[in-house]
Chains A and B, each alone.
Chain A
Amino acid sequence: MLYLIRWIAIHLGRSTSRLILYPITFYFLLFAPSARRASYDYLCRVLNYPVRPWHVARHFFHFSATILDRVFLLTGRFSLLDIRIHNLDLVERQLAEGSGCILLGSHIGSFEALRALGISKYKLPVKVVMQEEHNETITRLLHSLNPEVGKSIIKLGKPDSLLKVHEYLQQGYLVGILGDRAVEADQTIPCEVLGEKAELPTGPILAASVLSVPVILFFGIYNGTNRYDIYFEAFAEKIIIEREQHDCDMTRWLQKYADRLTFHARQSPYNWFNFYEFWDADV
């Protein structure tokens, strides 16, 4: 199925291949009940009008569109897309200094818009930290389109994973981390996202404090048809987590991040790509 989609995308062009987004959306609606529930639950939180099935469909459509666009991004067909970058000077200043920084992202929008564009077009030194088992098949398939971008992954889960991050930062790399999704073993702290408690992983903030590098936020927002807006936002020159008040410092930084998640979710509601029970159930 995935191979077929990739073939269609490469051989039939973007507008034709976008036709397959309709059956894919329909498929999700019918056969992915947990994602459908998660979408509905999220939309009820973010929209200020009653959620209808077509809103959930639109949500899936946006998600599928960004996945399909990864094919075009990874094969370097940037001219098909209208990608606008905001506050690039934040990153350029960092690169000019030659010191690395952490790009803290999320599952809002498309990180590929930033990664593929950054690496292939602007030749930026970018690495992305990722869970090893995360979407293995689709990741392998997409990376086969562009081995150079595929090589940008730093796999988590080994004792020396962060040593690698440290070394790349020393070489002036921009290291991307998605900070909104906790996996089982992760330590989390409850933060307010869209006004209600959700568990956010402490790992990325803690790592940034130990690595003592600046943190810049990024959001690769998909704005329909072929338009992407990549936003960079200053977050921290240096994150300091004092041992004695670990929880207090951590909560403050994570909530600051959570506030930006809330802002962008409200701004671009259909870009939220956490299709699981994100919020604490017992609240």
Chain B
Amino acid sequence: MNGSDIAAQTPFEQEVAQLIVTSLNLEEIEPANIDPESPLFKDGLGLDSIDALELSLVISKNYGFQLKSDDSNNVKIFSNLRSLCQHIESKRKK
């Protein structure tokens, strides 16, 4: 991954990127190198449904709210780091 041509991460995106890498044990990925606008699942970072579950458990622990499966925006929420962060910021209870 080339660090120079990706969109810049906001401080909160840096925090969540770090959380993704630690909680999912993505040893070979540098949090700062996750492009906030490129896909998290499949083609992008290559996460799967189990990663999404682990991530949502960590998010509920750290930010005090549970991601819901019946949220029709889930495809969008999980689409990239930026939209995930925006969703967390709008829902977080801590």
A243 within 8 A of B: yes
Bound-complex Cα distance A161 to B53 (A): 9
What residues of chain B lie closer than 8 Å to A203, measured between beta carbons?
50
Stretch with Cβ within 8 A of B (4 or more), from A20-28, A45-53, A206-214: A206-214
Contact partner of A163 among B25, B47, B53, CB < 8 A?
A: B53
B67 within 8 A of A: yes
Given A203-B50, A207-B53, A210-B50, answer yes or no on A167-B68 (Cβ-Cβ < 8 Å): yes
Contact partner of A159 among B25, B57, B68, B78, CB < 8 A?
A: B78
- Chain A: which residue is nearest B40 at the CB level? A159
Distance from A84 Cβ to chain B, minimum over Cβ atoms (Å): 35
Interface centre among A162, A163, A185 (most CB of B within 10 A): A163
What residues of chain B lie closer than 8 Å to A243, measured between beta carbons?
25
B49–A159 contact, CB under 8 A? yes
- Chain B: which residue is nearest A246 at the CB level? B25
Name A31-85 residues within 8 Å CB distance of B. none
Name A91-144 residues within 8 Å CB distance of B. none
Distance from B65 Cβ to chain A, minimum over Cβ atoms (Å): 13
What residues of chain A lie closer than 8 Å to B57, measured between beta carbons?
166, 210
Bound-complex Cα distance A206 to B54 (A): 11
B50–A159 contact, CB under 8 A? no
B53–A158 contact, CB under 8 A? no
What residues of chain B lie closer than 8 Å to A159, measured between beta carbons?
41, 47, 49, 52, 74-75, 78
- Chain B: which residue is nearest A243 at the CB level? B25
B68–A162 contact, CB under 8 A? no
Bound-complex Cα distance A163 to B49 (A): 8
- Chain B: which residue is nearest A244 at the CB level? B25
Distance from A182 Cβ to chain B, minimum over Cβ atoms (Å): 13
A163–B52 contact, CB under 8 A? yes
Query: Do most interface residues of chain A lie in helix, strand or loop, or is the interface mixed?
Result: helix
Bound-complex Cα distance A166 to B74 (A): 15
Distance from B57 Cβ to chain A, minimum over Cβ atoms (Å): 7
What residues of chain A lie closer than 8 Å to B54, measured between beta carbons?
210
- Chain B: which residue is nearest A170 at the CB level? B66
Bound-complex Cα distance A220 to B75 (A): 36
What residues of chain A lie closer than 8 Å to B69, measured between beta carbons?
160-161, 163-164, 166-167
- Chain A: which residue is nearest B52 at the CB level? A159
A162–B25 contact, CB under 8 A? no
Given A167-B68, A167-B69, A243-B25, answer yes or no on A160-B78 (Cβ-Cβ < 8 Å): yes
B14 within 8 A of A: no
Name A204-257 residues within 8 Å CB distance of B. 206-207, 210-211, 243
B38 within 8 A of A: no
A157 within 8 A of B: yes
- Chain B: which residue is nearest A202 at the CB level? B50
Bound-complex Cα distance A14 to B59 (A): 52
What residues of chain A lie closer than 8 Å to B48, measured between beta carbons?
185
Name A131-188 residues within 8 Å CB distance of B. 156-167, 185
- Which residues of B does A touch, CB under 8 Å? 25, 41, 47-50, 52-54, 56-57, 67-71, 74-75, 78
Q: List 19 A-B contacts (CB under 8 A).
A: A156-B49, A158-B49, A159-B47, A159-B49, A159-B52, A159-B78, A160-B67, A160-B74, A160-B78, A161-B49, A162-B49, A163-B68, A163-B69, A165-B53, A166-B53, A166-B56, A166-B57, A166-B69, A185-B48
